[in-house]
Amino acid sequence: MRAERAGTSDQQAWNLLQHAKRLQRDGDSARIANDTAMMLREFAEADSTLAVANRSDPRWAAIPILRGTIRYWTSRFYSGDQLLAKAWIDSGLIQAAHALKEAPENADALQLRGELRYWRWLMALEPDPLQARALLDSARKDLETATQLSSNQPEAWSVLSHLYYQYGDVAGAKLAAQRAYNEDAYLRGVNLIVWRLFTTSYDLEQFPDAIHWCDTGAGRFPADPRFVECKLWIMGTGAVKVDPAAPWIMVDSMVRLSAPPDRPYAKLFGVALAADGLFRAGLRDSAAHLLDRLDDRADIDPTRDVSQYAAMVWASMGDTGKAVARLELYLSANPARASDFDAEDSWEWRTIRDDPRFKALSNHR
């Protein structure tokens, strides 16, 4: 606050910014509660307040940064509507440009532009592949520069922890998530940071770390089904002893904690993961029976992601034929992902990686 206060000598602008922040927080609460009317009302009043503040001090970068932040979170709310999200993203980028014109090395302004650019990329709003790659690279540069300019940018580190996955840099993703958590363990959305610390540790085969972050998430966020799901993933690593009853307890808990519309998928997904737990508990026949009966229905799982997870279990059991059959079903719904298997080096596929049938998946169309 001291650094922010030093940005203006206009008392009215300062007072208006503080009032707008309170309105923004109320709007954020409404957004999280899915109260669209209240969110839009609070955000609109905050933006109007900031417009008045801007007339008092048109050169204070904090004002367009907050206006752009409001637009960013509004665009996130409308993630299911590309055109509506695009309008809010573009409007937010205009505000980020205003802030950077006044303060080219403002870490918060660079973070805002990086977040908006990355969200624009995630929303697939840039159809040209070369321009899309340039957009991703520019988002990365903005966010990394923000972290270099300021020693306290946990949200920038948080976004980088997700962005680095797009470059296949799992180790970098974990380090960024760790930095975000270290800088602010109570950051908005920190449950996602803890989840990324689990997933990156898991992907890197750092299972003691994975167990630690899974337990941390379960302790801090007991109502989040992710931190029941992670226990199922760990059961499939061989890093812990598995009680044959435990996978089913975890599946029931994951389904119960999931939102009602998500429960059919949670059940389907949970059964696939439970099969891996049963295999690790020495019940191979029971695991195979579950997987053979697993009906990955398109009305529950249109992208057939569960089939990919089932394939991982078949791979861990050493059955390449059934693993490939499940992956073919997955690729039938996601043909653009075929190239992912061209140089697949994830540890989950280690037992079947050299099999010609697995290698041939990259040619699937």
Is residue 103 within 8 Å of residue 61, measured between CB atoms?
yes
Domains in the chain with CATH codes: 1-142 (1.25.40.10)
Centroid of chain to Cα 299: 24
Amino acid letter, residue 91: S
Cβ–Cβ under 8 Å, residues 287 and 276: yes
Residues 143 and 114 sit within 8 Å (Cβ to Cβ): yes
Walk along the chain (365 residues) and give the pLDDT tens digit of each residue: 777 777 788 899 999 999 999 999 999 899 888 888 999 999 999 999 999 999 999 999 999 999 999 999 999 988 878 899 999 999 999 999 999 999 999 999 999 999 999 999 998 898 888 999 999 999 999 999 999 999 889 999 999 999 998 898 999 999 999 999 999 888 878 999 999 999 999 999 999 999 999 999 999 999 999 999 999 999 999 999 999 999 999 999 999 999 888 899 999 999 999 999 999 999 999 999 999 999 988 889 988 899 999 999 999 999 999 999 999 999 888 776 776 776 567 888 888 888 899 888 866 55
Longest dimension (CA), the chain: 73
Paired tokens of 307: 């089939």
Give, as one character, the DSSP assignment of residue 337.
G
CA gyration radius for the chain?
Answer: 23
State the amino acid at position 286 in one-letter form: S
CA distance 20 to 10: 16
Beta strands in 261-335 (DSSP E): none
Question: Distance (Å, rounded) from C-alpha 179 to C-alpha 185?
Answer: 10
